[in-house]
């Protein structure tokens, strides 16, 4: 498959990851932020409050379909056979067990290591007032069986980073903050390694990888986000402070 964008160690594919992944032989790491589960999408259709990056969505379309169990399983199998080190997956906390099963169950599956958390600083409260607000997103961390290594020493797997808001460059419904992704890239990968994001969105993971000297591959179904990501990557890559 011909790349949509390719420059400076970064490659973007426009297409369905189920079709693109079989053309990629292997990568060192996967860092991905897949679509929401049915749990969150069903809340949207009922007109309830769904929280993503602290944004309250009442009766509003998210702009993408829910993650199916079939897609989750296909991505899980590919990661288990094609990722040599870490696989990190963002999700609502209710879905962490599903990703753990998709990545680790079955012969040759990855090994579950830990669930880290992103504390969404600046997120909205629970406006209905009948339950606690969503404060964190889970990051399910898996690895090939055997010896493991990360660059974080004895620190906790807890990332307290402000959400992305409109005036600070938010261009995607579920856009992750660049300092958050830079911290994950710095903690779990090494310079020169290749990181894959099969649900690339606006390309934040790829931008962080490029700035920190890693190679990166992104896959995105929506062409407009491929265009946005390519523009972001073409901008001057300034050094990024990582807490």
pLDDT above 70 as % of the chain: 83
User: Does the structure show a pLDDT above 90 at 207?
Assistant: yes
In this prediction, residue 59 carries a pLDDT of 43
Measured CA to CA, the distance from residue 49 to residue 58 in angstroms comes to 5
Cβ 135 vs Cβ 119: under 8 Å: yes
User: Does the structure show a pLDDT above 80 at 167?
Assistant: no
Confidence of residue 175 (pLDDT cuts 50, 70, 90): confident
* CA dist list (Å): 150 to 5, 10, 158, 177, 207: 30, 23, 14, 21, 21
- Give 42 or 34, the one with higher predicted confidence: 34
User: Does the structure show a pLDDT above 50 at 193?
Assistant: yes
The H or E element spanning position 195 is strand 194-197
Q: What is the mean pLDDT of residues 97-121?
A: 96
Least trusted range by pLDDT, from 41-45, 75-79, 160-164, 221-225: 41-45
Q: pTM score, two decimals?
A: 0.85
Bridging pattern class, strands 10-14 and 158-162: unpaired
In this prediction, residue 51 carries a pLDDT of 40
Q: What is the mean pLDDT of residues 40-67?
A: 48
Mean pLDDT of the chain: 87
In this prediction, residue 43 carries a pLDDT of 54
What class, spelled out in words, does domain 5-234 have in CATH? alpha beta
In this prediction, residue 54 carries a pLDDT of 39
Cβ 203 vs Cβ 225: under 8 Å: yes
pLDDT above 90 as % of the chain: 75
In this prediction, residue 42 carries a pLDDT of 55
**Which residue ranges make up each domain of the chain?**
5-234
In this prediction, residue 44 carries a pLDDT of 46
Confidence of residue 68 (pLDDT cuts 50, 70, 90): very high
Pull the structure tokens for residue 166: 């409109």
């Amino acid at each position: 498959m011909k790349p949509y964008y390719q420059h400076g160690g970064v490659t973007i594919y426009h297409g369905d990851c189920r079709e693109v992944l079989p053309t990629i032989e292997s990568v060192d790491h996967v860092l991905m932020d897949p679509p929401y589960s049915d749990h969150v999408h069903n809340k949207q259709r009922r007109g309830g409050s769904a929280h993503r990056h602290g944004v309250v969505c009442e009766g509003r379309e998210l702009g993408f379909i829910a993650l199916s169990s079939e897609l989750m399983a296909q991505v899980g199998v590919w990661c288990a056979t094609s990722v040599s080190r870490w696989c990190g997956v963002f999700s609502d906390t209710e879905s962490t067990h599903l990703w753990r099963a998709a990545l680790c169950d079955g012969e040759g599956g990855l090994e579950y290591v830990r669930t880290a958390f992103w504390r969404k600083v600046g997120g909205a409260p629970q406006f209905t007032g009948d339950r606690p607000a969503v404060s964190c997103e889970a990051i399910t961390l898996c690895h090939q069986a055997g010896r493991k290594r990360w660059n974080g020493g004895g620190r906790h797997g807890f990332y307290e980073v402000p959400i992305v808001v409109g005036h600070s460059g938010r261009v995607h419904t579920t856009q992750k903050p660049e300092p958050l992704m830079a911290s994950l890239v710095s903690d779990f990968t090494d310079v020169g390694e290749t990181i894959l994001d099969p649900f690339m969105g606006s390309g934040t993971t790829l931008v962080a990888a490029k700035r920190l000297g890693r190679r990166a591959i992104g896959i995105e179904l929506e062409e407009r986000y491929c265009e946005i990501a390519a523009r972001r990557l073409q901008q001057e890559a300034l050094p990024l402070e990582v807490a």
